[in-house]
Chain A
Amino acid sequence: MPLLWLGLLLAATLGMEQLEGVLRLIEPDSREVIYRRDTFLALLVQHVMVVLVASLLAVAIGVGAAIAVTRPAGRDFRPLVGQLASIGQTFPPVAVLALAVPVLGFGTLPIIMALLLYGLLPIVRNTLAGIEGIDPAVHEAARGMGMTGVQVLRQVELPLAAPVILAGIRTSVTINIATAAIGATVGASNLGDPIISGIVNGNTAYVVQGAVLIGLLAISVDSLFERFMPRLAPR
């Protein structure tokens, strides 16, 4: 299944020219129906890179924070981290962009910042749920057998919570693939470019091209997760 979607994505990226006839139907009056300011491949690569960097950072920070607040020493910060992650998600990415541009300038950095904040919640929430959802008896036994904190974390908590954590990462990445498009408004060139440019110039065909590619990318990545994610361990 992931191969099918990846194939479609690649075909659409490289062969958009072939669809000129179909796209002409959407926008019969425009001079140009294929977006040509940049190749779709370059835009796709840019898009993937931005999401990848933002997601890796979100995973590192999100999983790290959730682990930290489930340790005895960090327990006091548990409510705070939960709230911060929620605020990150309720804060619209566009607003983050608007606030980040004066500080970070135009280009890729502000969008990475926005995606990072936006993608944090599902990761933090799921990591907390995964770790806190472990049967307390398992935890008790692990400590009672003489495992150290690090051993409990690595051999018991993380493996048992992994499916739930990965589900959070999957949600986060998929949302970010779609959200990254707004980066085009602050000069990050990615698959959002054709969409923004289409809206500005009143060219629906551009919008369709960007949207189709983003959609295919999101589905491809999601099906990759589906394919390679470990099943929820029996409890």
Chain B
Amino acid sequence: MIELFDVTKRFGDEIAVNDISLRVEKGELCALVGTSGCGKSTTLRMINRLIEHSEGEIHLDGQPVRTFNEQLLRRRIGYVIQSTGLFPHWTVARNIGLVPRLLKWPRTRIRERVAELMGLLGLPPAEFAAKYPHQLSGGQAQRVGVARALAADPEILLMDEPFGALDPITRESLQHELRDLQARLHKTIVFVTHDMDEALALADRLVVMHRGRIVQQGRPIELLREPVDNFVASLLGGVERGLKEAGLTRVSERMLPLGPRLLARERVAQTAPLRDALSMMLWHRVDRLTVVDDDDIPIGELSLRRLVGGRPE
């Protein structure tokens, strides 16, 4: 659990972070979003003390971070940055084993742990262990970055725009993997991004920052439906908010049981977001879809009217 109490950071006369309070529960993924220079990265870096806060207190599991030894604190917190920061003169395996080595784990345990993590992140050790960072693609390098952060099994993970430099396809697949990983590992994650779709897709809780302050926080759907002001509304997508919300709602929530009518030709999975269903309707120029389960068996139907939340005909 991470708690910030009235934290302020000044650089000279400039106030980068202004009196923010925040609580990230254990196992929660909290996304900090906002425009560049809003203080989200500074907030993140104050948690592992790469930047020291000027006022207020930051607690990890109830203990002020200032009471920890700086290095020992950071070894307990995974850290992933956009440009990976892999050591160019070390192999992938050595890069991943960095923190366990700093913690003086026995050599065999480090080797096992590195192999385990490489498997977890889809980097077969036989192929990748001996490679150097410059031999990796952007997506592979970032996987190594995530593996390195997870190496010593920290409870907390800080991620500073980890997928920001990747192409959209790689980014999306890494977001998927992160979600799967998180479902298994239940880390406490603070995630900084300016990509709103990424934040909406990953976050349990969204924290919107503007000019060093937190302007709103809550579940993504709450922020979408009830933004406190125009800034939050426009940050969350302006007129596209409808689509973003549709991206967070599953087809199964709006479908109706199969009726007496003939099955519509186009099919959509019940687990797909409404946004996909809408897109299919637009694409195929139809106003009705058949909803199928995981085995492609029809279980219901979705009309355009239902999709937009209207009453059934």
Contact = CB atoms under 8 A, between A and B. Distances in A.
B85 A144 contact: yes
B242 interface: no
- Overall SS of chain A's interface: helix
Given A141-B86, A160-B88, A234-B132, A147 B81 contact: no
Centre residue among B82, B88, B134 by max chain A CB count within 10 A: B88
B85 A141 contact: yes
Centre residue among B48, B98, B132 by max chain A CB count within 10 A: B98
B74 A143 contact: yes
B89 A144 contact: no
A144 B48 contact: yes
A29 interface: no
Contact of B74 (A139, A144, A233): A144
8 contacts: A139-B85, A140-B81, A140-B85, A141-B85, A145-B79, A145-B102, A145-B148, A146-B99
Centre residue among A140, A143, A144, A145 by max chain B CB count within 10 A: A145
Contact of A144 (B81, B83, B134): B81
Given A140-B81, A234-B134, A147 B71 contact: yes
Contacts of B145: 141
B84 A140 contact: no
Interface in A129-185: 135, 137-148, 151, 156, 159-160
A137 B132 contact: no
Contacts of A135: 83, 85, 88
Given A160-B88, A233-B89, A146 B83 contact: no
A156 B95 CA distance: 11
Interface in A97-154: 135, 137-148, 151
B73 A146 contact: yes
A146 B76 CA distance: 8
B87 A142 contact: yes
A98 B79 CA distance: 58
B250 to A, nearest CB: 37
B183 interface: no
Contacts of B86: 138, 141
A141 B88 contact: no
B187 interface: no
Interface string B209-240: 00000000000000000000000000000000
B85 A151 contact: no
A144 B75 CA distance: 8
Centre residue among A142, A144, A160 by max chain B CB count within 10 A: A144
Given A148-B71, A151-B102, A235-B134, A143 B50 contact: yes
Contact of B79 (A139, A141, A151, A159): A141
Interface residues of B, number: 26
Contact of B81 (A141, A151, A235): A141
Interface string B13-31: 0000000000000000000
Contacts of B85: 135, 137-142, 144
B126 interface: no
B149 to A, nearest CB: 8
Contacts of B89: 159-160, 233
Centre residue among B76, B89, B99 by max chain A CB count within 10 A: B89
A205 B48 CA distance: 71
B72 interface: yes
A233 B133 CA distance: 11
Interface string A194-235: 000000000000000000000000000000000000000111
Listed from nearest, the 6 A-B pairs whose CB atoms lie closest are A141-B85, A146-B74, A146-B75, A137-B83, A144-B79, A137-B85
A139 B88 CA distance: 11
Contacts of B148: 145
Contacts of A138: 85-88
Interface in B66-115: 70-76, 79, 81-89, 98-99, 102
Given A144-B74, A148-B71, A233 B98 contact: no
Given A145-B74, A146-B73, A159-B89, 5 more contacts: A138-B88, A140-B85, A141-B85, A144-B85, A234-B132
Contact of A233 (B70, B71, B84, B88): B88
Contacts of B50: 140, 143-144
A156 B75 CA distance: 17
A233 B81 CA distance: 22
A156 B87 contact: yes
